[in-house]
Amino acid sequence: MVAVRHVRIVPVSNHTRTVCLRFELFGCSYQGPISYTLPAAHEALARRNLNELLDLSYDGSMSSSGIWSEGLGQLTDGIKFLNSNLKTREQDWLWVGWPRISDAIEASSVIMSL
């Protein structure tokens, strides 16, 4: 049996470019995503006119420190995605992004609860 508590992914490039990531993790069965916690990048993205990278479907609450928690949105599994209204949106809307940490966000972790 293999147990994993944390997985850290750090996309790195030697050249200036947009770094995209699709991450799939296969393992034991589970009931589906329960929630995820992420930094709220809405203000920083809006300042840069990058509104298409906002997670507009996230249904959690934001803390005073700017962290969204206890909700679900675009970052989910393929099964939940196929049964949602997200697949009917324009393709560009399906991306979620954050600016660099130095621009606005203290916490850089996305924590998924399964």
Is residue 42 in some structural domain?
Answer: yes
Say which residues have a Cβ less than 8 Å from residue 97's Cβ, sequence separation at least 6: 41, 45, 50, 53
Number of domains in the chain: 1
pLDDT in tens, 34-60: 788 877 666 666 666 666 667 777 888
- Residue 106 region, left (φ>0) first, then alpha (ψ -120 to 50), else beta? alpha
Is residue 52 in some structural domain?
Answer: yes
- Spatial CA neighbour of 92 closest among 47, 59, 54: 54
State the Cα angle at 21 between 11 and 53, rounded to 5°: 110
pLDDT of residue 103: 46
Rounded distance between C-alpha atoms, residue 2 and residue 109, angstroms: 23
pTM above 0.75, yes or no: no
Is residue 19 in some structural domain?
Answer: no
